[in-house]
Amino acid sequence: MKFAVLIIEGPYQHQASDSAYHFTHAALKKGHEITGIFFYNDGVYNATSLMTPPQDDRHISKRWSELIQQYKIDSIACVAAAKRRGITESNLAAGTRISGLGQLTELGINADRLITFGD
């Protein structure tokens, strides 16, 4: 099955980002395809390289970046949401690019299911 993943919550607000990560990782391990990950609204904070959590805490953007690069997943941060939050190409985590909502539409069209994480 092909899944697209939409994340609309920030990394440390609720469990949405952690749940999305674990879902994506498990789906890939089971042989499913992830057509792409789209970070939207506060979800774009998951894709910033500016994150520096305490040493004993999980580093969410690093974790996402490693998974995205390992499996060569198309990862997109919404341009409008990113600009509103001061996120630019220069401070994106490795493996993620900035683009518009048209990319989210394409991900949904090319997937069997679009899974949304967050409120």
Output the domain CATH number for residue 31. Answer: 3.40.1260.10
List phi, psi (to 5°) of 93: -70, 150
> Rounded distance, CA 58 to CA 35, Å?
25
Paired tokens of 37: 């990950």
* pTM score, whole prediction: 0.95
d(CA 36, CA 45): 17
Q: What letter represents residue 42's amino acid?
A: D
Active-site choice (78, 81, 87, 92):
78
Measuring CA to CA, which residue among 86, 16, 104 is closest to residue 49?
A: 86
78 is catalytic: yes
Percent of the chain with pLDDT over 90: 93
> Residue 90 — pLDDT band, cuts 50, 70, 90?
very high
Q: Which domain holds residue 81?
A: 2-117
Give the number of domains in the chain.
1
Contact 68, 25 (CB under 8 A): no
Q: How confident is the prediction for the chain on average, in pLDDT?
A: 96
